[in-house]
Amino acid sequence: MTVQVGNGERTLFWRDNWINGSPVSRMAPYLFQVIPKRITKRRTVAEALPHRRWIRDIRGGLSVLVLRDYIRLWQVLADMHLSMDSDRFIWRWTANGTYSAASAYRIMHHGTIPLAGSRWIWKNWAPQRVKFFTWLALKQRLWTADRRRRHGLDAHDICWLCDQEQETADHLLVNCSFAKQIWWNMLSWMDCACTFPMPMELHQWWKPIRQMQVKERRRGLDTLVMLILWCLWKERNARLFDNLSSNALEVQDRIKVDIKLWIDAGATRLGCLRHE
Ligand SMILES: [Zn+2]
């Protein structure tokens, strides 16, 4: 956020980006260090600029570096004058200078690689905790056995659902024989196509599944995928933590109940999937 200073009343002298888009702290870093923090947090340009009152904020002895900064700042400020207008805050990441949440989000993720599949989560209906869980699953951040081992923790290495293969998030949620059975049955019950070409990562599997749907059905399918992932994870946790185990039919029955609950709670696109 840069500031176009008018009367200087809303702009912090030491901290805001008001001198050609930069803060004093960057232009005169050594000088900035000898200004008490509490002063930098409240001193406005309106207070500091007239009669060079900013000089009174300086505390302690002046080293050569501080002195150099001081002279530089003095020269820069010599040509600056306040006006009667209000200060204008300009958001520098959009063309028209107005702040928007979308631009802030872009900046936050500037330079990072977008997570494959994250749009399928955040743009669609699901309880917040389920979205967060799915996001962790896509990022390979669930505490499955492989990850626990990598962090030097104890783990039961074999998958809790099939009792055959190593537990990883991608195995548990997609490639596991128990999970596959659930996916086949539930996706076809919801009139969606399903395929398992080969062992793959969650997002690699999810993508063709949604592409097999006509466009209008994809968001409903995304919600359904999140719901089933969540139920598989809950079943795994019930076996691990509560020593309670359900068979595939029982898990499917619970999924059907949840589908109904989610639709009642507002998942309208999920409700459109099944041809009655
Ligand atoms: Zn398994």
Instruction: Tell me which residue range forms the domain holding 90.
Output: 2-106
Alpha carbon of 7 to ligand 1 centroid (Å): 67
Alpha carbon of 252 to ligand 1 centroid (Å): 17
Question: Are 72 and 209 within one domain?
Answer: no
Assess whether pLDDT exceeds 70 at residue 244: yes
Alpha carbon of 250 to ligand 1 centroid (Å): 17
* Residue that is last in its domain, among 50, 72, 106: 106
Question: Mean pLDDT across the stretch 255-265?
Answer: 97
Question: Are 102 and 141 within one domain?
Answer: no
* Residue that is last in its domain, among 106, 136, 153: 106
Indicate whether 276 belongs to any domain: no
Among 258, 115, 267, 143, smallest CA distance to 189 is for: 258
Range scoring the smallest mean pLDDT among 4-18, 229-243, 247-261: 4-18
Question: Are 123 and 100 within one domain?
Answer: no
Residue 205 CB partners (closer than 8 Å, separation 6+): 174, 196
Alpha carbon of 175 to ligand 1 centroid (Å): 7
Q: pLDDT tens digits for 162-206?
A: 999 999 999 999 999 999 999 999 999 999 999 888 888 999 999
Alpha carbon of 165 to ligand 1 centroid (Å): 6
Question: Are 149 and 20 within one domain?
Answer: no
Alpha carbon of 209 to ligand 1 centroid (Å): 20
Q: Count of domains in the chain?
A: 2
- The pLDDT score that the predictor gives to residue 94 is 61
The rounded distance, in Å, linking the Cα atoms of 201 and 199 is 7
Q: pLDDT tens digits for 110-165?
A: 555 667 888 899 989 999 999 999 999 998 889 999 999 888 888 899 999 999 99
Q: Does residue 59 contact residue 31 with C-beta atoms inside 8 Å?
A: no
Q: Look up tokens 């639709």; give the residue.
A: 263
Alpha carbon of 155 to ligand 1 centroid (Å): 15
3 state DSSP class of 192: coil
Confidence band for 108, pLDDT divided at 50, 70 and 90: low
Question: Are 55 and 141 within one domain?
Answer: no
| Average pLDDT value for the chain | 88
